[in-house]
Amino acid sequence: MPDPFRHYEQAPVLDLPADPPAPQTPTFQILAGHTANPLTNDAAQFLSSLLFHSASISATKTVPSTGTRYALRVNPSSGNLHPTEFHFAAKGLANWPDGLYHYRASSHMAEQRQSGGDPVTELLNLAPAPWFRSSPLVFVLTSIAWREAWKYRDRAYRYCLHDTGHAWAALALAARALGAEAFAFAHFPDQQASRILGVDDEWPMLLIALKGPGIPTADRPPSPKHWNGGQPNPLSTETIPYPAIDEVHQATTLPAISTIAQPTPATSNEGPIPLAPLATSDATFEHTVRSRRSALDFRGGSETISFEMFSTLLDFTTRPFAADFEGDLFDLDPARYITLYLYAHRIDDLDRGVYRFCPITRTLQRKRLGDQRLMAAGLSLSQDLAGNSCVTFSMIADMERALRDHGDRGYRYVHFEAGNIGQRLYLASEALGFRSTGIGAFYDDSVHRYLDLDGEHHQVVYHFACGHAITDPRL
């Protein structure tokens, strides 16, 4: 098994302060798009809190048969393998040196791979979208495919993209809880980004720029660039190649800086069932993200969730993402590529069946009626949790439109969007008192047939389940 933690040995290490500011804004306000008030005037405290609530270790678990302990993190990952790494470039932060950093999650530290210079501008110059050009802080999410391929083989590339989407949402929501906003750039030349970061086995996936009053800044003259580098720790004694992963990644790579096409709008499909008024929750953002866990299974039986809770889950998936492949930053009706189909098992005041959710009209369209528990589990590689949940989702991508808008690069974007939606479902479920889990394993063609999709224009990219989890006594 590859090492789940990346270190850059010999690079200078800066401590991130312990016990950073804890965002006490209600989770639902953050998910609804409200930016919280700033919590600190010290950049080190800001960075510590930002990463503590988006990328850090949150708990440990013990394997009963061996006594082995392993870490869980605040951002979810397929198989808890964590292919995503967090790098960031800083310019003009208060009491924090300019440069390029890697987050060492194992010890909550920042490794300074470059001192001085202006890596913020270098990175933003790769992205043609006009937003957030004056950002003092840019994160780069990279992916190490071998960490997932070790277990999931060729299908691992999808999981890397899902995890990038989860990490993107985790970072953007944590920034909002600290008084800043984020914008994601996915349209950039890959090799140039790799060169700026000085990475080899990590693939840059997203640039995420942050700005806002919550980020402590200070004017100071630029300092000369010095490359500290550092040696990446080996993750395995052996790496097995998976040519299909390399091929699809190469096919979705951009060779040079180019303009990004404006996405075409999605069409509305009116449904007869409107959502209910939204449920309420007082759970704070800090508590929600630190206590979030992926459910290993659900209790099943007769326990339900209310239609108001279910409506709240759906509503939070419709809020703007702020990404270059989504369109205008301020567009309240953005071009989405994911449509949610859902298998309703135990939702108060909603008949059991399959429904399609239309985010534009916020309505449900009936597709099939009847008990779907066996079918949802069967389609999800015979995993019981998809049938024991209160509701299980199939995230269906309008692949034809994504590829028409963005070429082969659009394949990444639909998975990023699905992962971002999944992270919102995770946090909303946790704040409402139940849990969720992402499901990457399903029979693609069988899902297409069951939902009456052609499998070419519309493809299933992610499954997701929400319900009352069986409590793990080891946590």
pLDDT for res 270: 65
Q: Are strands 13-15 and 181-185 parallel, antiparallel or unpaired?
A: unpaired
At 265 the pLDDT is: 81
pLDDT(474) > 80:
no
CB 132 within 8 A of CB 120: no
**Rg from Cα positions in the chain:** 21
Q: For the residues of 278-306, what is the DSSP string, one character each?
A: PP----BHHHHHHH--B-S-B--TT--B-
Q: What digits encode the pLDDT tens for the residues 367-422?
A: 999 999 999 999 999 999 999 999 999 999 999 999 999 999 999 999 999 999 99
- pLDDT(116) > 50: yes
Does the structure show a pLDDT above 50 at 238? Answer: yes
Instruction: Provide the pLDDT for residue 331.
Output: 65
What is the model's pLDDT at position 62? 85
Average pLDDT over the chain reads 95
**pLDDT beyond 90 at 32:** yes
* Domain architecture of the chain: domains with CATH: 8-251 (3.40.109.10), 273-467 (3.40.109.10)
Percent of the chain with pLDDT over 70: 97
Q: How far apart are CA 411 and CA 419, in angstroms?
A: 13
Per-residue pLDDT band at 310 (split at 50, 70, 90):
very high
Tell me the β-bridge partners of 190: none
Strands 99-104 and 109-115: antiparallel
Parallel, antiparallel, or unpaired: how do β-strands 13-15 and 109-115 relate? antiparallel
Residue 2 has pLDDT above 50, yes or no: yes
In the predicted structure, residue 268 carries a pLDDT above the cut 80: no
**Identity at 457, one-letter amino acid code:** H
> How far apart are alpha carbons 239 and 248 in whole angstroms?
18
State residue 235's pLDDT score.
96
pLDDT tens per residue across span 148-199: 999 999 999 999 999 999 999 999 999 999 999 999 999 999 999 999 999 9
> 184-193, 315-324, 338-347: lowest mean pLDDT where?
315-324
Q: In this predicted structure, what is the pLDDT of residue 473?
A: 44
Q: What is the DSSP secondary-structure string of 36-98?
A: PPP--S-HHHHHHHHHHTTTSEEEEEE-TTT--EEEEESS--GGG---EEEEEEESSBTTS--
Q: Residue 327: its pLDDT value, please?
A: 77
Whether the predicted pLDDT of 475 surpasses 60: no
Position 66 scores a pLDDT of 87
Report yes or no on whether pTM surpasses 0.75.
Answer: yes
Alpha helices, DSSP H only, in 128-199? 145-152, 156-177, 190-197
What's the rounded mean pLDDT across residues 237-247?
96
The answer, yes or no, to whether residue 251 has pLDDT greater than 60, is yes
pLDDT category at 271 given cuts 50, 70, 90 is confident
